[in-house]
Amino acid sequence: MIYYSTWEGETENLVSLEPEPLLQNLKALYKGTEQEELFKCYSFAQEIKNTFVIKSPLYISASFSEQRGWTIKSVSLEQENFNKVLNVTINRDNKYVQSMPQFFPGNFGNLFYATEDTNMQILSPNFHTTKVSHMPICTGSFNIHRWFRATSYALINKDLEDIVFNRGDPLYYVKFHREENVQLKRFYMTPELQKIAKSNMDVKNFLPKTPLVKLYEMFVNSGNQKRIHKEILKQIE
């Protein structure tokens, strides 16, 4: 069982779309086409096992200008809500990297937690075609039993092209590396859980370049892992 949530807020919970098993999604996508042959391949089935599609909760149309930076044209947002939808990566010299915009950081981000060691990998949605499919995304992986933070969707947009995606468009996949079949169960973020997740996301500002294995050790030793476990299972039970 993998537990998941969005960061916070009733609005975010209301508009967010649940992760969908990739196999289920592709069977619907390719139904009645010759691509259904894919599902007869054992190695393909093994490759996408325990993989889920993370979809955009909003319709987004964004563009960049030297004068204003990134702006969102599809919805009118005050700065606080704008920051929930789009942020720009900041490098180690504290400069904005405009070619790496991050969408849905924090509030709309997904958090996953496992009660046992489980590596979660963020993958490019290569089986789906959208208006931004030609742009690479920032992928990665971490142990969701030993680290707790929200995911985000960061594009590598070196030409600063306009960015458009629809509500429901696949943004990325998450793959859980477990032998047994994975099931997802939703929990709700509490102030206690938000505090822990935020501290994990902020630690890079104080201890830059710290290896993940060291962060895992710090996280477990802090007692935060036990606090998360207790807080989530209290809801489920």
Instruction: State the Cα–Cα distance between residues 89 and 96, nearest whole angstrom.
Output: 6
Q: Which amino acid is at 20?
A: E
196 Cβ partners below 8 Å, 6+ apart? 148, 224, 227, 228
Instruction: State the Cα–Cα distance between residues 12 and 77, nearest whole angstrom.
Output: 14
The 170-177 sheet, strands edge to edge: 20-21, 51-55, 170-177, 119-123, 140-143
Angle at 39 between CA 34 and CA 41, to 5 degrees: 110
Q: How many domains does the chain have?
A: 1
Quick one: pLDDT at residue 88? 87
Quick one: pLDDT at residue 21? 97
Quick one: pLDDT at residue 204? 86
Quick one: pLDDT at residue 156? 95
Count of beta carbons in the 10 Å neighbourhood of residue 216: 17
Instruction: State the Cα–Cα distance between residues 112 and 74, nearest whole angstrom.
Output: 29
Q: Which domain holds residue 52?
A: 2-236
Quick one: pLDDT at residue 141? 97
Per-residue pLDDT of the chain (237 residues; tens, 9 = 90+): 999 998 766 677 788 899 999 999 999 999 999 999 999 999 999 999 999 999 999 899 999 999 989 999 887 777 777 877 888 887 777 788 899 999 987 667 899 999 999 999 999 999 999 999 999 999 999 999 999 999 989 999 999 999 999 999 999 999 999 999 999 999 999 999 999 999 998 998 899 889 999 999 999 999 999 999 999 999 887
Q: pTM of the full predicted structure?
A: 0.93
